[in-house]
Amino acid sequence: MAEQLIELNVTGMHCNNCALSIHKLLEKKGLQNILVDFAGEEVKFSNESNVELPDIIKSIEQLGFKVVDDPALHEPRFYEKIENKFLFCAIFTVPLLLHMIFQWHVLHMPMVQLLLCLPVFIVGCLHFGKSAWHSLKAGIPNMDVLIFIGSASAFIYSLVGTIQNLGEQYQFYETCATIITLVLLGNVFEKRSVNQTTSAVKDLVKIQQVNANRIIDGTVEVISAREVKPGDTLIVNHGDKVPVDGDILEGDASVDESMLTGESIPVDKVRYDKVIGGTIVVHGNFRMIATKTGSNTVLSQIIELMKKAQAAKPPVQKLGDKVAAIFVPAVIVIALLTFVLTYFLSDKGLQQSLMNAIAVLVISCPCAMGLATPTAVMVGLGRAAKSGILIKGGDTIEAVIDTKYIVFDKTGTLTTGKFRIEDIKIEGDSTIQQVRGVIVAIEERSNHPIAKSLVHELKSLQQDKVILKAVSEEKGLGMRAEDVEGNHYFLGNGKSVNDGNFNISLYKNQSLLAQIAVDDTIKPEAAALIAQLKAMGVVPVLLSGDRENRCLKVAKAIGIDEVHGEKLPDEKLTIIDIYKQKGKTVMIGDGINDAPALTKADVGVSMNDASQIAIQSARVILLNTDLHSVVKFLQISKHTLLTIKQNLFWAFAYNVVAIPVAALGFLNPMVGAFTMAFSDVVVIGNSIRLKSKRLD
């Protein structure tokens, strides 16, 4: 059977343990490439077996989750909302707790307490009991198992005391109801907090939900951006969001692209310029033709990239996952031991033994461990995205820590990539018009920054028209072409030519036709960046295919000491390998010739205006061409990892301290439930702090 890539929207997952349950279920069914994102409410897998999709959906729903068409449009029933469950339970729990404060006879009657506790216990059975049962069937017991056993033990103990009329010391209905109500309150806060951690993706999705003004037969109709097709002509006015990606046909405008680049200064757009869906027209208006729609737009690809990144686990998470997987069985064993040892080895009796065991169950919190890493990663990725930095995986955040070397390409990375021709030296009997014509004809077919600059500069000058029938690009070398008359051309780096001022050579039928001297300007922030990296203990390196003397000139101007010029793509690979052996190495580049080196480095970083191949090869994309994004990326990664470690420390330390305290009888089960309910909120709160935390 052919491979099917399937994506499901699954609601009801509230922590990593839920995601693990679904992951294990799908693994048992023989599905491949499983990816479960509890915060994004998405489950993806490829189905190469004969398992029918309805069977898969049924199995997921039997675990206690719900598969829906669109989470944004899915409105849960009134009684399914966690907030309503909490309020319902609180109405019955408050009178139960009042009997501990007021000596009102009616509140002390066992049957009254039973009637007040029963509705809460039923909600607990439906909410926690159902989830606990299905998680046990799936082989991954979750936190709900602990909550259900604890609350059910208190309820059954109290019910037996009521039926047998054993007196007040057997009445612990308030313990059962309070455990359920407080854990539901914790779930309410947890749900709201997790929503905050995923706000970056949700904000981007909202940007997509706009209308478009489409022109048909001279009239304008308003449609949803999702209905726009490639080739449609649209009108975009002052204040509108650009609905999809496209090219301006007529008009001009200033466009705010901050959602893409993090750069607040609007960009001026004129005829033939590209515009990106989701950006805002702050001044002017234009007609445009839609070129990319739906999942092909830049914004859709960014959203997809961020969703995948959130699901890619850093190595530090593996420890948390391993502990979370064995945590619940371990806690049940500790609770049983607590009951047995307290009952048989002390004179505290059945009641105290049971209360100690229940306290152990409800104080334990595997969710805090499950939430520690993904929430921090989501906030870190979101903060990076808002600064114009796209990180392709949570694992990249950890991969970049303790970077020793940052290797820079020169052209378009440290320099602006906007070239000007300093001189053209004609060889032989050709004219300047012929040479210009050949250069323009060849370079029009290339995306390289030098090629774009040459075409832009020469097009307005007088030239002879040259018609080519074949053009090919050779990585790191240049362009080969053949015209309709059978002449062969090569335009590329002038490595073999002795004159150091000229860095591009044009050959016709293997004879030198012309030499071209081009140069570009250094980015104004380059020197400050290099100084900052050195202060951070990072060694900057310049690695380029450009002439050695030009590389040395740029390196000297900005303060780089280690320089490797005139390197072909395979030579760049060798140099990256040497640096990797000496320490963690990051490569920053933008051209086709940089793609292998970007892949080879520990982390490859690509500029936004880079070639598509460079973007695909890199693990980080800087949408803002300002080089200070490099430092911001390192800082965000450092603080995200620090937040993960803080979260894991809190989650582990909380359980290491709380469980023995509960086992020794120093903790009331109700206090335990309250503390457990807020341990998750503390972990998520620490992650949310990363949104506005000062980065040094």
Alpha-carbon distance of 5 to 65, in angstroms, equals: 21
Least confident stretch, 306-315, 530-539, 592-601? 306-315
Of 20-29, 356-365, 402-411, 614-623, which has the strongest mean pLDDT?
402-411
pLDDT given at position 1: 42
Give the number of other Cβ atoms within 10 Å of residue 239's Cβ: 10
Q: Mean per-residue pLDDT for 5-16?
A: 78
Q: What are the start-end ranges of the E strands in 590-652?
A: 603-607, 620-622
pLDDT at position 311 is 62
Q: What kind of architecture, by CATH, is found in domain 4-73?
A: 2-Layer Sandwich (3.30)
Question: Bigger pLDDT: 200 or 140?
Answer: 140
| Nearest-angstrom CA–CA distance, 686 and 669 | 26
* Percent helix / strand / coil, the chain, rounded to 5: 55, 20, 25
Question: Cα separation of 685 and 413, whole Å?
Answer: 37
**Which of 83-87, 143-147, 513-517, 575-579 comes out lowest in average pLDDT?**
143-147
Tell me how far apart the terminal alpha carbons of the chain are, to the nearest angstrom.
53
Which of 12, 13, 44, 17 has the alpha carbon at shortest distance from 31? Answer: 44
Residue 468 has pLDDT above 60, yes or no: yes
According to the 3-state scheme, what is the secondary structure of 663-676? Answer: HCCCCCHHHHHHHH
Highest mean pLDDT: which range of 50-59, 129-138, 213-222, 546-555? 213-222
> How far apart are the C-alpha atoms of 144 and 149, rounded to whole Å?
8
Reported confidence tier of residue 320, pLDDT bands at 50, 70, 90: low
- Characterize 476-498 residue by residue with b for buried, 16 or more Cβ atoms within 10 angstroms of its Cβ, and e for exposed: bbbbbbebeeeeebbbbbbeebe
DSSP-based three-state secondary structure for 623: coil
Band the pLDDT of 313: cuts 50, 70, 90.
low
In this structure, the chain runs to a length of: 696
Q: Where are the domains of the chain?
A: 4-73, 229-292, 416-521
Least trusted range by pLDDT, from 22-31, 105-114, 150-159: 105-114
pLDDT value for 232:
92
Rounded CA separation 355/664 (Å): 11
- Report the alpha-carbon distance of residue 210 to residue 242 in Å, rounded: 9
| pLDDT exceeds cutoff 70 at 406 | yes
Give domain 229-292's CATH number out of 3.40.50.970, 3.20.20.70, 3.30.590.10, 2.70.150.10.
2.70.150.10
pTM, two decimal places = 0.69
91-118 pLDDT per residue, tens? 998 888 776 666 666 667 888 888 999 9
409 annotated active-site: yes
Q: Which residue has the tokens 């059978």?
A: 486
Residue 137's pLDDT band (boundaries 50, 70, 90)? Answer: confident
Could you say which of 409, 483, 520, 680 is catalytic? 409
**CA-atom Rg of the chain in angstroms:** 32
Q: What is the pLDDT of residues 334-351, one digit of tens each?
A: 989 998 998 888 777 788
Over 90: is that where the pLDDT of 579 sits? Answer: yes
* 412 φ/ψ sector (left φ>0, alpha ψ -120 to 50, else beta): left
Residue indicated by tokens 């969710």: 367
pLDDT tens digits, 580-592? 999 999 999 875 5
For the stretch 268-279, pLDDT in tens is: 888 888 898 888
Q: What is the pLDDT of residues 651-691, one digit of tens each?
A: 888 888 888 988 888 877 877 777 776 777 788 889 889 88
Rounded Cα distance between 136 and 143, Å, is: 11
Residue 557 CA neighbour count, 13 Å, CB half:
15
What's the rounded Cα separation, in Å, for the pair 665 and 378?
Answer: 38
Say if residues 337 and 357 touch (Cβ distance below 8 Å): no
Cα–Cα distance measured from residue 417 to residue 622, given in angstroms and rounded to the nearest whole number: 15
- Who contacts 611 (Cβ-Cβ below 8 Å, separation ≥6)? 447, 448, 590, 591, 592, 595
3-state secondary structure of 474: strand
The CATH number of 416-521, from 3.40.1110.10, 3.30.70.20, 3.30.1300.10, 3.40.470.10, is: 3.40.1110.10
Tokens of 10: 């699954």
For the sheet with 504-508, list strands across it. 415-426, 511-522, 504-508, 488-493, 478-483, 468-474
Sequence letter at residue 4: Q
CA distance 274 to 598: 27
Q: Alpha-carbon torsion 627, 631, 633, 634, what sign?
A: positive
Tokens of 267: 């960009």
